[in-house]
Chains A and B, each alone.
Chain A
Amino acid sequence: MNNILAVENLNKTVDLTKTNKLHILKGVNLKIEKGEFVSVMGPSGSGKSTLLYNVSGMDRISSGNVKFKGREIGELEEEELAKLRLDNMGFIFQDINLLKNLSVIDNVMFPAMMLGKEDKSQINKKAEDLIKMTGISEIADNTITQASGGQLQRVGICRALINNPDIIFGDEPTGSLDSKAASEIMSLLDDINKKGTTIMLVTHDAKVAAQTERVLFMVDGNIVSQKKMDKYNKNRHELKERTESIMKELISNGI
């Protein structure tokens, strides 16, 4: 077993008031293998996004263990966590979250420039390649106010890939897109995963989850079941069947 992420008894509570605490994650256990494409589904408030942000070190866990590539991230200092995110992780958000004052290509190059492992011309070449791959070359020099939602999400994907991360976390990456754009983004992520990058994403959409190889179902702060699927067989018929079986699973779990 080659786990990139191992989660044991993960708990997350937040203080609503001084006396009122909300227990969001309740002893979650999870393992994700290197190269896996995992999705997390569940109703609103089930804790799926919280799980994503806690295992990625974006938020601080309340208790339990989260090991990323064998390192216990709960013990890392703020600076070390930041370095880990910059070097080893990529993020794609539903709200895209690009830097407003940078152009498309500068948004893509920025994390690599901050990492400083390559020189500027190499970074530029890599960014141009990624932009070309995602089909948004025509807007490379535009400001982000001059691009559509689908284009911006592709920019987000390019940015997530620029430092060759071990894992990409996606928080509803297709949530704000129309079905055509969503399908394009998913096939892009599929291509990236096939090249060896681990992906963990949170989604509401069964069609999106059907394109991953494992779906985790969360209810009330815990993973209640999971569904494993074939990584390579994703023809139209297979996807339709997968979607239906995911829907059934959701219904059987009361989601």
Chain B
Amino acid sequence: MLLRIVKNDYIRKKAITATVFLFIAMASLLLSSAISIIANLVHSIADLQRAAVPSDLIQMHLGEFDQAEIDRFVETHQDTIAMQETMVLQNLEGKDITFRNNESFADTVQDISFVVQNQNFDFILDLNNEKLNIEPGEIAVPIHYMQTYDLAVGDVLTVSLDGYQKSFTISDYARDSEMNTTFAGSKRFVLNQADYEELYAAQAAETEYLIEFKLVPGADLMAVHTDYVDAKLPGNGPNLIGRMFMLMSAMSDAIIALIMILISMMIVVISMLCIKLMFQAAVEEDIREIGVMKAIGISKKDIRKIYRNKYCIMAILAGVAGYLLSFAVMDVFTGNMRLYLTADLSGSLSYLLAVLAPVLVYVMISLYCRRMLKKMDKISAVEALLAEVDKREKHKKYRFALLKNKVFSTNTYMGIRDIGRRFKLYRFLVVIFSICTFILIFPVNIYNTFNSPDTCTYLGIGKSDLRIDLSRTDRITEDFLELQEALTNDPDIEMFSPLITCSYQIRNPENEWDYLNIETGDFTVFPLNYIQGSAPLSNGEIALSQVAGDELGKKIGDRLEVRVNGEVRELTVSGIYQDISHGGKTAKAHPGLPLNQDAILWYVVYADLQEGVDLLSKIDILKEAYPGASVFSVQEFTLQSLGNMIDQMRMAVFGGAAVSLAVAVLITVLFLKMLLSKDMSQNAVMRSLGLTLKNIRHQYMAASLTVLVLGIVIGGLLTEFLGELLLGLAMSSMGASRIDLVSVIWQSWILCPVMLFAIVGLSISVCCKIAAQKDLSVVLRS
């Protein structure tokens, strides 16, 4: 019997039932997707780690090299070092590699290295996470290059160097656990051993050594590194920690997961609000029915059961539907992960974990039901039968008199005053529209933030036009001086700033000597945004990246001990800046700090062009004049470095927009249906007085759109303030805790609101049309 009542209730209120069903399904779908994405992320990183066995510590070196020294070091450290392998890189310029119709990789900002597969660890994999096995004449190309240059298996790459020319057929994608991400500065192409030896023998490419260590589990990584440096072993290049690569790879997917979770949470909030609204409407509409049920002696328990059944059955069905649908959605969102991290996303764990979502939605709904039903218990049979509940308003002061309206038409005013009179009801809509606006604008703003010219400041780079990187050769110092002189005399250059990065030993909070890459130069030419303090302006000052500052426990004004050429100096921390590149642990010092001659890592020059000088042609000129240098626009560098993330963000923008608009439409329809059924008799009275359907629609339109404007304003402000805070929290572990969200006015404040406006307006006009099909007297007399 009770089930029959529930069934009849569903049939009687088909539209509202369907809308609530959709809502619960959507909440479950999004929450399931979010859980799956996180589970997949964790699973795929673990899977990649298992298959690729990445190194724990990498020391790069250019120039003379003796493997025997390394072997002796390993022998003395057998308790901490499990394996050691040296990968010999053949570094090429992008312009040396051509494909299709003479296209090349010349515009890449990343280093290109040709390698052969390692024997013991740090394997480069194919898309099935199998060790790459390359046949003669073939090459495996990093995923980033395959995607960026639209290459396919079977395409031919031709390498043309001085005295060496050879073509290779692309046989595979190279999935590189260490250098997949665009945040990593270089990419590894894999060759067959024989082809590699031929290239090596030609001595046409630059040879670099990747001295890799796999440590015994639990071994102290920093201690091994310190011992290595102290032993004066080859190490004139940067050193890298395995954990950092993992962090960088996870970063772009983590941001998507964060947005998905945020959106899911908001959808859950919206769904809860909907259930609350539904209950309110149901209680008011069915109040007589409840009265009749109580009057004829149906127990509170049974009445509760009817309502609980109604929503719990819906929660179960919709929750399961949402969970199943999440598999399809997940496919779209995890496309990137599948390509870069692992092919195997069928991990049953993620499906199992995702079941948590519908369970959570069900628990929330049934808890909410219980609370609402307790309230329902308090209504007596007589109150319910006489619908006395409304009489509470008897002593309310009359506000919004018609004569007070001097601005709007009577219809518009009737709509707006309705908000004031029933604010308790409309506030739901305000909250929901605010959330929809947030979901719509937040991803757009994040996308614009990472796409803006200022983004370079989050990479620890000042805003400038171009960047010149000098290759590490024997005469790099001379090259550097010559370049500076040339730039001084170049009329096209407005200003420039030469910067040198060396590895220094610094004293960490544990009172041990640790290594830190410190860039020296004049940082006032192209200033960074400092979270605290300022650039190192005088001798003895140093600015730390946020991650470095946190790790070293240093604040502005603190002293930091740095060992320079054997001598210990104390530097004062002058500022903290944001840097998400190179694992985020960097520092910038005043040029007064002497260079650590043994450990110079790279020379970089940033420059601004005079007004009117074309950036791209200037880059070409400089490239030609300095063949050993990489020249590129800073904006291009930033875009390429963040490329992966920007692509992901684009997807989040469309996903956010779709979710937001769908939610706005669904909610508006649901809300309107509820209002129309609540106002049925009042609307009939208005029609009997001679108001047209258009007039009544106008009133609802005025109310809903006013609420929407309110929601858009609140949502927009939320994005501006809360959005920055959330993004800062998400990014702080990566090195940027204070990100200024860039909002492009026409997108965030015009396009998005107009879209919401149009879609909500359309929903109202379509929904309100249903109102008048019956004879008016039927409604008036009922």
Contact = CB atoms under 8 A, between A and B. Distances in A.
Say if A and B assemble together: yes
Interface of A: 14, 49-50, 53, 58-60, 78-79, 82-87, 89, 91, 93, 95, 97-103, 106, 109-111, 113-116, 120, 124, 141-143, 145-146, 159
Contact of B690 (A86, A100, A120, A124): A86
Contact of A78 (B391, B403, B682, B692): B692
B689 A84 contact: no
B775 A58 contact: yes
A53 B686 CA distance: 15
Nearest to B772: A78
Given A91-B688, A103-B398, A145-B394, A58 B403 contact: no
A45 to B, nearest CB: 13
13 contacts: A50-B777, A79-B694, A82-B687, A82-B690, A85-B690, A91-B688, A97-B681, A100-B682, A110-B402, A114-B695, A141-B398, A143-B396, A145-B394
A179 B393 CA distance: 29
Main secondary structure of the interface of A (DSSP, over half): helix
A111 B396 CA distance: 24
A141 B695 CA distance: 25
A113 B410 contact: yes
B772 A159 contact: no
B402 A97 contact: no
A98 B684 CA distance: 11
Given A97-B685, A102-B402, A59 B692 contact: no
A98 B685 contact: yes
Main secondary structure of the interface of B (DSSP, over half): helix
B418 A101 contact: yes
Contact of B775 (A60, A102, A103, A110): A60
B402 A109 contact: yes
B690 A111 contact: yes
Contacts of A116: 410
A59 B777 contact: yes
B418 A114 contact: no
Query: By CB atoms of chain A within 10 A, which of B396, B398, B684, B693 has the most?
Result: B398
Given A59-B775, A100-B682, A82 B394 contact: no
Nearest to A52: B777
B352 interface: no
A97 B779 CA distance: 11
Contact of A114 (B393, B417, B689): B689
B682 A106 contact: no
Given A102-B402, A103-B401, A143-B398, A79 B692 contact: yes
B780 interface: yes
Nearest to B688: A91
Contact of B689 (A50, A59, A111, A124): A111
A62 to B, nearest CB: 11
A105 B688 CA distance: 18
Query: By CB atoms of chain B within 10 A, which of A58, A101, A124 has the most?
Result: A101
Contacts of A78: 692-693, 772
A183 B310 CA distance: 50
A53 B693 contact: no
A142 B401 CA distance: 11
Given A102-B402, A110-B402, A145-B391, A83 B692 contact: yes
A114 B690 contact: yes
Given A53-B777, A78-B772, A101-B418, A120 B403 contact: yes
B694 A86 contact: no
B613 interface: no
Interface of B: 390-391, 393-394, 396, 398, 401-403, 410-411, 417-418, 421, 681-682, 684-695, 772, 775-778, 780-781
Contacts of B694: 79
Contacts of A114: 410-411, 689-691, 695
A101 B699 CA distance: 14
> 7 smallest A-B Cβ distances: which pairs?
A86-B690, A59-B775, A85-B690, A53-B777, A82-B692, A97-B685, A145-B394
Contacts of A106: 401-403
A145 B393 CA distance: 8
B689 A110 contact: yes
Given A99-B682, A114-B410, A91 B401 contact: no
Query: By CB atoms of chain B within 10 A, which of A82, A100, A110, A111 has the most?
Result: A82
Given A78-B772, A114-B410, A85 B777 contact: no
Nearest to B774: A59
A84 B690 contact: yes
A49 B781 contact: yes
Nearest to A53: B777
Nearest to B690: A86
B357 to A, nearest CB: 41
B395 to A, nearest CB: 8
A86 B689 contact: yes
Contacts of B403: 106, 109, 120, 124
A91 B398 contact: no
A97 B780 contact: yes
Contacts of A84: 690
A104 B130 CA distance: 82
Contact of A159 (B401, B689, B778): B689
Nearest to A80: B692
A98 B681 CA distance: 10
A61 to B, nearest CB: 10
A53 B776 contact: yes
A79 B693 CA distance: 8
B776 A58 contact: yes
A113 B402 CA distance: 9
Contacts of B681: 97
Contacts of A98: 685
Contacts of B411: 114
B776 A99 contact: no
A84 B689 CA distance: 10
B683 to A, nearest CB: 10
Given A58-B775, A102-B402, A103-B401, A82 B691 contact: yes
A100 B387 CA distance: 14
A56 to B, nearest CB: 9
B695 to A, nearest CB: 7
A224 B391 CA distance: 44
